[in-house]
Structure 1
Amino acid sequence: MAEIASNIPPILPEQVPVAEETAISPWKEAWKSFKKNKLAIVGLSIVTFFVLLAIVAPLIAPYEFADQKLSDKHLAPSGEHWFGTDEFGRDILSRIIYGSRISLWVGFISVAGSVFAGSFLGIIAGYYGKWVDTIISRVFDIILAFPSILLAIAVVSVLGPSLQNALVAIAIINVPTFGRLLRSRVLSVKEEEYITAAKAIGMKDSRILIHHILPNSLAPIIVQGTLAIATAIIECAALGFLGMGAQAPTPEWGKMLADSRAFILQAPWTVLFPGLAIMLTVLGFNLMGDGLRDALDPRMKN
């Protein structure tokens, strides 16, 4: 028996069969959770529709947005003009299709500028603290002390009314939102053990910020950025309605509302369809932003 036992080879730990565990990426898990949210999918569908509309605008618009035909002014919706015409005989459907380009462009570009500037200032304030944090935080407090639309009007008044200046104004008023968000995130992340270890081995601050702190702060930026695009579209429309944004004949939805408000009883379709375009676009981004928040925030998961 002793000889038989001695001839049996020992079972090494690495030879023991172990069930393989498939590691799921956090982003794949977030997408899986996002797909389960029906309202979020509706929002994504609406946003995708308007993005595609903006991309193929020259191909599907039945008329040029600036074509005028005074003999066709204020025509009711029909087979020739699905959304009717305005006071200059311009096709409203074509102007709304081209207007999607302007609204989405302002939304994406202004929010991108806000994210870049706000993230930079917020990370610097949260990581270095002390007097740097005090100065940057007080600047954020000053900007947030003013109602956003009034501050945007003030900025455009100084720079001059135009679509580009409206974009700059919208970007400026949204900087504190991302700055304070990143500052609070950095204050919690920089106390983690891996940040302490990175400092202990002599890693440069710039490398720590770019390779460790910023990647761990992307989730709240994505959620807030999506919601901020909806806000930017509303603010762009508000500035256009007040004559501080896009100028004629640019087919910006807020400007279209402003030009048609005098004919709301005579030709209600001139106000109805641009207003619906604004409402649907903002609704889409809000639904998608809520879905991203639920998918990326661990506290929202069961």
Structure 2
Amino acid sequence: MPQGLQVQPEQPVRNVKSPLAIAIGEFWKSYRKNKPAIVGTVIVLFFILLAVFADFIAPQGINDQNIGHKLLPPSAAHWFGTDDFGRDIFSRILFGARLSLRVGFLSVIGSIIVGTLLGTVAGYFGKILDVVISRIFDILLAFPSILLSIAIVAILGPSLNNALVAIAIVNVPVFGRLVRSRVLTVKEEEYVMAARSIGMGDARIIFQHVLPNSVAPIIVQGTLNIATAILDAAGLGFLGMGAQAPLPEWGKMLSDSREYIQTAPWTVLFPGLAIVLVVVGFNLIGDGLRDALDPRMKN
């Protein structure tokens, strides 16, 4: 080797983060600064854990009756008291969390799937498809959501599953119009035009370019709509159109206990408080996601 030449030691290869990892890191960095969103996340995770482990936490079965212990106030034996059948309210609220969260998540997932499909077709292809689908959305949005849900359940029959279907149908136009407006904007972007110019098919453009750039508002709206779905399920249950006895759905528990609101207020207080906390938790998460995912909300 000629004198004066030195061999440079090999530099270690650094791990390069993928764009997805960078995006997730930026999202979490922004999201965790939002204290109300963190509080909402803690509340929702708390109720999810209660629902998952209800079989191990609940001191009694949801239908274990003891007429001698009916309408007992909160105590060490019954943390939230008992109802008019002597059933432990704490146990019923734990299992009721399963029902309410299931309705919230499944109804919103169904609404997102159908609404995204219809909104994408309307926004991307336009013309007569856009007119027909948009008019269907307008008709559904012309009715108050709770009244339309009641009408659908009246046709299908009162039950928790039918209430879930009704809530999903009512929320379809919300996601459909959101996705349609986003698709109308994204499909005019330069990268979409470039993909179309090189012969890329419509299906590939939609799934590789249009939908991935429309996910953020769907996530935010979906989180907020979970809270709305839980409220709608509770409203239908309160009116006798949702969950039927003896299911421990929170709205049904409120309905069954409304005549004891003065003599045994705990029978109404704790189911109502559970509804309020879960709804507030999802709303706080939705606001935090909006702030973290929307570039316009960042400094």
Question: Shorter-chain TM-score: what band?
Answer: over 0.9
| 1:97 lines up with 2:94 in the alignment | yes
In 2, Cα distance between equivalents of 1:120 and 1:39: 33
Give the 3-state SS of the residue equivalent to 1:246 in structure 2.
Answer: coil
Report the TM-score, using the length of structure 1 for normalisation.
0.92
Partner of 1:284 in structure 2? 281
Distance of 2:197 and 2:185 partners within structure 1: 18
Identity of aligned residues (%): 68
In structure 2, C-alpha distance between the alignment counterparts of 1:56 and 1:198, rounded to whole Å: 49
Corresponding residue of 1:67: 64
Match of 1:246 in 2: 243
Which of 76, 80, 93 does residue 79 from structure 1 map onto? 76
Count of matched residue pairs: 284
CA-CA distance at 1:161 after TM superposition: 0.1
Aligned residue for 2:32, secondary structure, equals: helix
Q: Which of residues 260, 268, 272 is equivalent to 1:275?
A: 272
Q: Distance in 1 between matches of 2:161 and 2:212?
A: 31
Q: Distance in 2 between matches of 1:216 and 1:26?
A: 13
Q: Is the radius of gyration larger for structure 1 or structure 2?
A: 1
Q: Which residue of the partner structure matches residue 162 of structure 2?
A: 165
**SS of equivalent to 1:36:** coil
How far apart, in 2, do the equivalents of 1:44 and 1:120 lie?
A: 29
Instruction: State whether structure 2 residue 125 is matched by structure 1 residue 148.
Output: no
Deviation at 1:99, TM superposition (A): 0.3
Partner of 2:11: none
Shift of 1:26: 2.1
Structure 1 position 21, deviation (Å): 9.7
**Cα deviations across residues 173-195 of structure 1 (Å, max 9, x unaligned)?**
00000000000000000001111
1:138-184 alpha-carbon deviations (Å, 9 max, x no partner) = 00000000000000000000000000000000000000000000000
Q: Distance in 1 between matches of 2:127 and 2:26?
A: 38
**SS of residue in 2 equivalent to 1:231:** helix
Name the structure 1 match of 2:38.
41
In structure 1, C-alpha distance between the alignment counterparts of 2:249 and 2:69, rounded to whole Å: 21
Would the alpha carbon gap of residues 63 and 21 (structure 1) be closer, same or farther in structure 2, given more than 3 Å must change? closer
Q: Does 1:204 align with 2:227?
A: no
* Unaligned residue ranges in structure 1 (runs of 5+): 1-8, 10-19
Distance in structure 2 (CA, Å) of the matches to 1:26 and 1:193 = 22
Please state if 1:29 is matched with 2:29.
no
Task: Please tell me whether residue 174 in structure 1 is matched to residue 171 in structure 2.
Answer: yes
How far apart are the structure 1 equivalents of 2:265 and 2:225? 30
In 2, distance between residues paired with 1:101 and 1:39?
24
TM-score, normalising length from structure 2?
0.93
Paired position in structure 2 for 1:188:
185
**Distance in 1 between the 2:195 and 2:101 partners?**
40
Aligned residue identity for 1:216: N
Amino acid of the structure 2 residue aligned with 1:282: V
User: Aligned residue for 1:113?
Assistant: 110
Distance 2:227 2:195 in 1: 38
Matched residue type, 2:220: V
| Equivalent-residue separation in structure 2 for 1:128 and 1:27 (angstroms) | 32
In 2, the alpha carbon distance for the partners of 1:262 and 1:203 equals 64
Match of 1:123 in 2: 120
Structure 1's consecutive aligned runs of 4 or more residues displaced over 6 angstroms after TM superposition are 20-24
Secondary structure, in 3 states, of the residue corresponding to 1:25?
A: helix
Aligned residue identity for 1:27: I
CA distance in 1, matches of 2:69, 2:239: 27
Query: Distance in 2 between the 1:233 and 1:158 partners?
Result: 21
RMSD: 1.4
CA distance in 2, matches of 1:236, 1:224: 18
Structure 2 unaligned regions, length at least 5: 6-14
Q: Distance in 2 between matches of 1:265 and 1:292?
A: 40
**In 2: Cα distance, 1:271 partner to 1:118 partner:** 36
1:301 equivalent to 2:298? Answer yes
Residue deviations 1:200-223 (CA, integer Å, cap 9, x gap): 111111111111111111100110
